[in-house]
Amino acid sequence: MTSEEIRKKFIDYFTSRGHTLVKSSSLSPSDPSVLLTTAGMQQFKPYFTGDLDAQKDFGSMSTVSIQKSFRTSDIEETGDATHQTFFEMLGNFSFGGYWKKEAITFAYELFTQHLNMPISYVTIFRGSAAVPKDEESRAIWQSLGIKDIREEGMEDVFWGPTGTSGPCGPTTEIYCKNAEGKDVEIWNIVFNQFFYPGSRDELLKGVPGKELKPLAIQGIDTGAGLERVVMTKQGVQSNYDTDLFVGIMAKIRELAPLAEERVQRIIADHIRASVFLIADGVRPANKDAGYILRRLIRRVLAHKIKADIHGDIFGSLVPVVQQKFGTIYPELNNPEILNVISDEQDKFEKAVVGGLAELKKHAVLDAAGAFGISSTYGLNFELMKEMAPEPTSGISQHDFDREFKKHQEISRAGTEKKFGGHGLLLDTGELKAKDEIELVKVTRLHTATHLLQAALRQVLGNEVHQAGSDITAERTRFDFTFPRKLTPEEIKKTQDLVNKAVADDLQVTFHLLPKKEAEKTGALFFFKAKYGDPVKVYVMGESIDNCFSKEFCGGPHVGHTAEVGRFKIAKEEPVSSGVRRIRGTVE
């Protein structure tokens, strides 16, 4: 059975049982608590918490998806039989609809009857001081004829939350035998019963003052890595032997026949992951998701040097990835992907020269010094050892990794301080300001964002709708629905319209109206947001019937548009299929 056939069987099974198919969200998430999308449930978090209404948005209390996912924790494990940085997650979800009996029965039927994959054994939650043992799941599995039911603890079969807080709950896992006869975890069914106001690490450590709280809506969140399902079903010994990778691996073996198997797998994973990240708008940088992409590209180039691989490795392999996955994910069919990689390759080659010169300045380096050079020049530790064996001779990979983890913790703490609501004067989720000075800036940028959406609809048409926004003191980031890249003329016209509205010094007022009455005014609103009743409708212009912009919003805004200052579109880029992003600044 091919991977395409498995995808279809999975989707057909759940859509025929009342689930709405929801396309994959971007790898670059709107959730500020995570760098990249790590799981299928991430785009559905607001539905589990009750902030959004699934019945209203999807026409059903249940959904099914195949989600593009990325886990940075798997970078070092990449190259073994079952780990990749990028993977696809099969998932079915219910938001206050069905519960344990239906979820377990669906999984049992799909595996045993539709995919013909016998279940080896299952796990259930053994219980903890805060959460009782899951005897309900045990009874359901027994009723389906499963005899081998094993109990495990919080670290293994209690999932979530993702990010810095969120839904979570006990799970039941399904194991099947792989080609070697070993039991492999295939599917995890999460029973989202609780909300935890902290990270998963804090939950496992039992941080004082943070307790599990029951969710008003009990939800089902399931996840099965497509690569692992395909590996098991196709009877091969690693994910890299499946039809998801076979074309990529064949090309790598052609280019680098003498490279170690693990190195060939790392190259395959990192190139595939890089293509998907770039297609979703991530660009190489020295921080956040851009740092992850830069690390992947440069790790491939480092292995290229070490394995003495000649030729354009990305130019040869990117088209193979696009051919395999471009029909399923059309956003991959973008010639800009190779341009981004080519630019990064040029920077890397200069970094190698600079990094080597810096390394030769030192007779001996400690782990902190080596990491400093690594982060400055974008060189991985293996390549540094190869280029300068004497200065790095006293440093182990373990020591270097420890420095990297310290850097991650410092970065994470900085991110939480800036974006997590700790010590901020303003944090609405969309707007963030640490002090009065930043508050003035984000207020100007927030008002400019309203003007931007109105201008985009004038230039591009009413198919433009807000798909997300994030505003800091430095810039506004506005996501909107539109099927193609904007032309330079369209970008200029949009920017000019915003600046004309600023120059016209329009009055900014709001009307407090019952929600239904507010909707009748034609005011714009973000369909994913949860508004109260009554709502504020902010108007920029003469009146609610004669204005440049009117939107549902809670504020803050300037009093007159002239206070915004000159608006500039700094960048226009893709986020995902059918969604674009504009980054803008004001002067």
Residue spans of the domains in the chain: they are: 3-234, 256-416, 432-586
Amino acid letter for position 315: G
Architecture per CATH, domain 3-234, reads as 2-Layer Sandwich (3.30)
User: Which CATH class, in words, describes the domain spanning 432-586?
Assistant: alpha beta
Equal CATH topology for 3-234 and 432-586: no
pTM for the predicted model, two decimal places = 0.68
pLDDT of 417: 44
Query: Which residue from 365, 308, 316, 310 is spatially nearest to 338, judged by alpha carbons?
Result: 316
Q: Could you give the percent of the chain with pLDDT greater than 70? A: 93
- Tokens matching residue 437: 């000075």
Tens-digit pLDDT profile for residues 247-276: 999 999 999 998 999 999 999 999 999 999
Q: What are phi and psi of 418, to 5 degrees?
A: -80, -40
Mean pLDDT of the chain: 88
Residue range 466-492: mean pLDDT, rounded: 90
Q: Are residues 374 and 351 in contact, defined by beta-carbon separation less than 8 angstroms?
A: no
Q: Can you tell me which residue has the tokens 């400690």?
A: 366
Query: b or e along 473-492 (b: 16 or more beta carbons within 10 Å of the residue's beta carbon)?
Result: bebbbbbbebeeebeeebbe
Tens-digit pLDDT profile for residues 489-502: 999 999 999 999 99
Q: Are residues 322 and 400 in contact, defined by beta-carbon separation less than 8 angstroms?
A: no
pLDDT of 33: 67
Query: Which residue from 375, 372, 365, 373 is spatially nearest to 396, judged by alpha carbons?
Result: 365
Q: Are strands 476-481 and 466-471 parallel, antiparallel or unpaired?
A: antiparallel
Q: Can you tell me which residue has the tokens 């979820």?
A: 103
Q: Are residues 213 and 181 in contact, defined by beta-carbon separation less than 8 angstroms?
A: no
Across the strands, what pairs with 175? 121, 185
Tens-digit pLDDT profile for residues 525-550: 875 555 667 788 889 998 888 999 99
